[in-house]
Structure 1
Amino acid sequence: MMINRGLVFMSDTRTNAGLDNISTFRKMKIWDKPGERMLTVLSAGNLATTQAVVSELEERMKAPEEREPSLLAVPSMYQAARLVATTLKDVIDRHARAGQEANSAFRATILLGGQIQGGPPRLFLIYPEGNFIEAGEDTPYFQIGEMKYGRPILVRAYDPELSFEEAMKLLLVSFDSTIRANLTVGAPFDYHLYEADSLSAGRQGRIELDDPYFRKLSDGWSDSLKQALEQLPPYDLGDAPATGKAPKGKTGTATD
């Protein structure tokens, strides 16, 4: 998420290959050269693919700069996004060349955000095909993985003037709505708060499911929704017949 103060990153840690094979893995990786650059990657999709991408990016950081392009040497965030996109596509293509079938099983999506000296903070959504899009004023945040349950929270409550504390609250409410509806997403949640122009990694942490603040937030959000619903006026059935047919002049166009 992009806010005026900087960038806010949050990821869950649940991976699963079926209901009886659930594991916890960190999906966030941070690299920085204090005073020069900070880059954060978040991933969703096939775990083997995303781990291979991160490993290759780190291997390139160890190689001579003139031989291998590196996230710690590229001159701009756009070039960093191109490097991550190319690496992701190469990893997926390698599975296919090795004779792996069901190529879609190795798909993954990546978020790259950060800042390189001389440019502003930027945020990119990178697709498995190797192309990407950039966040801006019209679309100031990205989600990957399971998004449909938590997205409405962001759509309604996002504001670029949010403080880091308010942004954390918003993202945790969004994640809480998701984990209540989908078993493929779960705590703990990793976060990273990047202050614009600091050019170094910011505050980081992990929030467990039994974290006192998260439990209070989750329960409070549920109670607030119930109270808000109770305060709304009830639907007026009017003279609708008991047969369930819509009265003359009234039609129903949706089901729930």
Structure 2
Amino acid sequence: MKTISTLIQEGSKLLSSQQPCLDCEIIMQHVLGVERSFIIMNHADQVPAEKELLFWKLTKKRAERYPISQIVGNREFWSKDFIVNQHVLDPRPDSEAIISTVLKYYPNKKQKLKIADFGTGTGCLLISVLSEYEHAVGIGFEKSLEAYKVACKNVEKHNLPSRAQIFPKSWAECRGLFDLIISNPPYIKNGKLKDLQAEVQKEPRMALDGGVDGLRCYLSIFPILKKCLKEDGFAILEIGEDQSDIDKIIPSYELAFQEYVHDLAGMKRCIVVSQSVSQHVILE
């Protein structure tokens, strides 16, 4: 039998990822069912034969450029652990800009917000926002039945079934009025999909494909915002590089552009939209 450290070293030689050793550590943690601290403190321990076989099986999947989160079945987002599989978009740190923007626009965490999440995927956005506002309630719309199942599992995992409900429907089915609408819709031009990293190409295409110009989903969301966003409410939507001038088309939907929010790399990451210019607020 080989030791933990030997297997991690040998496994990392198979990988072409940016952090091969870290990937192998994560796989080993998953195989042994332990925390990273255990790996560090017990690196000389021998790994049982059946666990070694599983380690190599999963490491070979990583060598085939499957995302590490799909391999181990979970991903951290906003300091929380979410169930992930091949049917949902991998939660990414960039999307945390949506949560921080919500906190900026709604500083009162006791507020009884009513929230809608369009294209909820894992449910990471809705669940993370609800975790910050104990009196808030929310609904998520996810038309992929397989992704809907993952979101429901995450709602249960985070003990939120009394405050979060997921519908296996398109956001076009949204009814009622909401204080806050959040979304990370597909926004990559379909002509660029072939150029994405191999790991990203193994994620569900419907969660990535934003149509010919990358605007398809936004053009379907804006009319719903006009119908379902409260007069004093805000919509916070993630955007990519192909939506850097999207503010110019918002007035044609009788909506008001509030601001762009930049991520840590200085890229425009979110757009904030409201019903009218008169409710614009300056927030430091």
TM band (smaller chain): under 0.3
TM-score (norm 1): 0.26
**Higher RCO structure (Cα 8 Å, ≥6 apart):** 1
TM-score (norm 2): 0.24
> If each structure's helix is expressed as a fraction of its own residues, which one has the higher value?
2
